[in-house]
Chain A
């Protein structure tokens, strides 16, 4: 079974530039999460999707961050414009939801390491 796929793995941009991250969850997983992880810290939830609906986005800085999950499968997280403080690892995770298994056990991708110069 293929795991959660994320791309790119690394991204270096200058501040004020836009950037986008892509995530393909495990097949059949209804729930998709985007997390931000700073060095030496645990992951912090940005947004959670149930199928194509964003059900928990209270931690997403909506002035510059946006996300979408069209058709309830792949998802894209965008930052525009990026700031120096956005440098971090962006993790995508998925969980089975109604497909089976304890719904809140999360399967993480390898993350995208963003560096903003």
Chain B
């Protein structure tokens, strides 16, 4: 069965630094991978999607890479701010159209 691992349950960094979150998957060949942000008491919010034929995708301070050989995606937040504090979920998808498999998430805390 598919297995998705996100690097750690919690990541604490100082404001202004770059946060790097890791998502590894096994027993799976997704056609794309999505990243979502989830705040306490709220549903996940879509951030970025990267397809298997794309190496890198950027959106403002966010950058995602996708290495299908390593079966890994990296999610970067540059110039991090306290408002970036949340849980970030990776979700590979596409082998069964419409179904996403979510990792357990990494809780990011950015302190001033």
Interface residues of A (CB under 8 A from B): 4, 31, 40-45, 48, 50, 55-56, 91, 93, 95, 102-111
Contact = CB atoms under 8 A, between A and B. Distances in A.
Given A42-B91, A42-B104, A45-B100, 16 more contacts: A4-B43, A31-B98, A40-B104, A42-B89, A43-B89, A48-B99, A56-B99, A95-B98, A105-B34, A105-B49, A106-B44, A109-B43, A110-B41, A110-B42, A110-B43, A111-B41
23 contacts: A42-B91, A42-B102, A42-B103, A42-B104, A42-B105, A43-B44, A48-B99, A55-B98, A91-B44, A95-B98, A102-B49, A103-B97, A104-B32, A104-B34, A104-B49, A104-B93, A104-B98, A105-B46, A108-B44, A110-B42, A110-B43, A111-B41, A111-B42
Contact of B97 (A40, A104, A105, A108): A104
A61 B76 CA distance: 37
Measured as residues with beta carbon below 8 angstroms from the partner, the interface class of chain B is: 20 to 34
A55 to B, nearest CB: 8
A108 B34 CA distance: 14
- Judged by DSSP, the binding face of B is loop
Contacts, number: 58
Contact of B100 (A4, A55, A106, A111): A106
Contact of A48 (B49, B91, B98): B98
A42 B34 CA distance: 13
